[in-house]
Amino acid sequence: MAAVRGKNTGPERRAAEALKRLGFRIQRHRKSLPGTPDIVLPQVKIVVLLNGCLWHGHKGCRRAKLPSTNRDFWRKKVEGNMRRDRRQLRELRKVGWRPLVVWTCRKIEESYLAGRLKRFRVTVGVNGRASVRSAKRTRRA
């Protein structure tokens, strides 16, 4: 387990490349934010958190199966990670950032990330710059 990295992982690199192709300027591991998020999209105030299924307790995922040895240790470890994740999400929202949690069991590609970002009302403009759509909806007669 010592070989498991916390930064510059494969899923993180793929997500960063996909977000750049979508026109976002990104920052990585911004220490000034709670939890040092993996990827930060400063122009739209969204943080992308790439969670490993085992380490962060992805409910119902086959990759989140605890090791068969020393189960009590691993259960406590994952539960502690989940508590920390909830606290950090709360702190991020409190300081005005919108968190997007991406599980690493998903295939991380442009179409998936673009679909997830649509829920935040984020679009990529004509010149490749991202923007947030107005929350005001027009009503059709």
pLDDT in tens, 121-139: 887 655 556 666 654 444 4
> Mind listing the domains of the chain with CATH numbers?
10-132 (3.40.960.10)
How many residues comprise the chain? Answer: 141
| Residue pair 110/20 in contact by the 8 Å Cβ criterion | no
More confident residue, 134 or 117: 117
Q: What are the tens digits of pLDDT across the range 43-63?
A: 999 999 999 999 999 999 999
Residue 53 corresponds to which tokens in the numbers above? 């299924």
Q: CB neighbours of 44 closer than 8 A, spacing ≥ 6?
A: 24, 120, 122, 130, 131, 132
Q: Strand pairing partners for 49? A: 101
